[in-house]
Amino acid sequence: MTQQEAFIFSGFGGQGVMFVGQLLAYTAMDCGLNVTWIPSYGPEMRGGTANCTVVISEKPIGSPIVRFPSVAVVFNLPSFDKYEPVIASGGLLVSNSSLVDQTSERDDITLLQIPGTDSADDLGNVRVTNLIMLGAALTARPVLTVDDVRASLADHIPAHRRNLLDLNYAALDRGVELASDLLVTA
Amino acid sequence: MSKELLKGNVAIAEAALRAGLQAYFGYPITPQTELLEHLSKRMIELDRVFLQAESEVAAINMVYGAACTGVRVMSSSSSPGVSLMQEGLSYIAGSELPCVIVDIMRGGPGLGNILPSQGDYFQVTRSAGHGDYRPIVLAPASVQEAIDFTVLAFDLADKYRHLVLVVADGLIGLMMEPCELPPFQPVRTTRPDWALTGADERERNVITSIYLKGEEMEGYNIKTQERLATIRATEQRWVEHLTDDCDLLIVGYGTAGRIAYTAIDEARSKGLRVGLLRPQTLYPFPEQRVAELAEQVERLLVVEMNAGQMLEDVKLAVAGRAPVDFFGRMGGMVPMPDEIVSAIDESFAKMAQPA
Question: What CATH number should be reported for the domain holding residue B298?
Answer: 3.40.50.920
Is the CB of A47 inside 8 Å of chain B's CB atoms?
Answer: no
Whether residue B1 is predicted with pLDDT greater than 60 in this model: the reply is: no
Chain B residues with CB-CB distance to A35 below 8 A: 5, 177-178
Q: How are strands ordered across the β-sheet holding A110-114?
A: A110-114, A92-96, A71-74, A4-12, A49-57, A34-39, B176-179, B4-7
Average pLDDT value for residue range B274-287:
98
Interface contact flag, B177 A35, Cβ < 8 Å: yes
pLDDT digits (tens, 9 = 90+) for B85-134: 999 999 999 999 999 999 999 999 999 999 999 999 999 999 889 999 99
Q: Assess whether B65 and B127 both reside in one domain.
A: yes
Q: Assess whether B36 and B160 both reside in one domain.
A: yes
**Which of A30, A54, A55, A63 has the highest number of chain B CBs within 10 A, making it the mutation to test binding with B?**
A63
pLDDT digits (tens, 9 = 90+) for B216-267: 999 999 999 999 999 999 999 999 999 999 999 999 999 999 999 999 999 9
CATH code assigned at A141:
3.40.920.10
pLDDT digits (tens, 9 = 90+) for B170-218: 999 999 999 999 999 999 999 999 999 998 889 999 999 999 999 999 9
Interface contact flag, B5 A22, Cβ < 8 Å: yes
Distance to chain B for A94, nearest Cα, Å: 24
Q: Assess whether B178 and B263 both reside in one domain.
A: no
Interface contact flag, B175 A37, Cβ < 8 Å: yes
Residues linked to residue A36 through DSSP beta bridges, in sequence order: A55
Distance to chain A for B94, nearest Cα, Å: 37
Q: Do the beta carbons of residue A93 and residue A84 sit within 8 Å?
A: yes
Interface contact flag, B174 A65, Cβ < 8 Å: no
pLDDT digits (tens, 9 = 90+) for B309-328: 999 999 999 999 999 999 99
Q: Assess whether B164 and B61 both reside in one domain.
A: yes
Q: Give the total number of structural domains in chain A.
A: 1
Last residue of a domain, one of B215, B234, B253: B234
Interface contact flag, A62 B337, Cβ < 8 Å: yes
Q: Assess whether B251 and B329 both reside in one domain.
A: yes
Q: Show pLDDT as tens, one digit a residue, over chain A (186 residues).
A: 568 999 999 999 889 999 999 999 999 999 999 999 999 876 665 656 799 999 999 999 999 999 999 999 999 999 999 999 999 999 999 999 999 999 999 999 999 999 999 999 999 999 999 999 999 999 999 999 999 999 999 999 889 989 999 999 999 999 999 999 999 876
Q: Assess whether B215 and B252 both reside in one domain.
A: no
pLDDT digits (tens, 9 = 90+) for B17-45: 999 999 999 999 999 999 999 999 999 99
Which residues, including other chains, have CB under 8 Å from residue B162's CB and lie 6 or more apart? B93, B96, B98, B135, B136, B156, B227, B231
Domain coverage including residue B166: 4-234
ipTM of the complex: 0.94
Q: Assess whether B109 and B247 both reside in one domain.
A: no
Q: Do the beta carbons of residue A143 and residue A102 sit within 8 Å?
A: no
pLDDT score for A2? 61
Q: Other C-beta atoms within 10 Å of B191: how many?
A: 12
pLDDT score for A175? 98
CATH code assigned at B141:
3.40.50.970
Interface contact flag, B259 A29, Cβ < 8 Å: no
